[in-house]
Amino acid sequence: MIERKSNRPTHRVYAVRKISEDRSRWADIGAAWAHKDGQGFSFKLNLLPVGEADLVIREIQEEEGGAQ
């Protein structure tokens, strides 16, 4: 269960396309917020993938220096 602490996104949404046998290209296409009850997510997509791509949602990690 994800605990929502603020209105900031909790996850990033990526479109992932395989470009070779061992390489993939990840494009940041939006953000996701955990619902207050921890039972789902709301998404805001800035772009939609064209063609075949996997959608991957990853928890936002703090970068070095504490900035997000």
Which of residues 29 and 50 earns the better pLDDT score? Answer: 29
Q: Read off the pLDDT band of 31 (50, 70, 90).
A: very high
- Give residue-wise pLDDT tens across range 12-26: 999 999 999 999 999
Asked, for residue 18, whether it belongs to a domain, the answer is yes
**Domain containing residue 24:** 11-61
How is 21-37 classified by DSSP, letter by letter? TTEEEEEEEEEEEE-TT
The predicted pLDDT at position 18 comes to 93
Please check whether residue 1 lies inside any domain of the structure: no
Task: Answer yes or no: is 4 within a domain.
Answer: no
Confidence band of 64 (pLDDT split at 50, 70, 90)? low
Domain count, the chain: 1
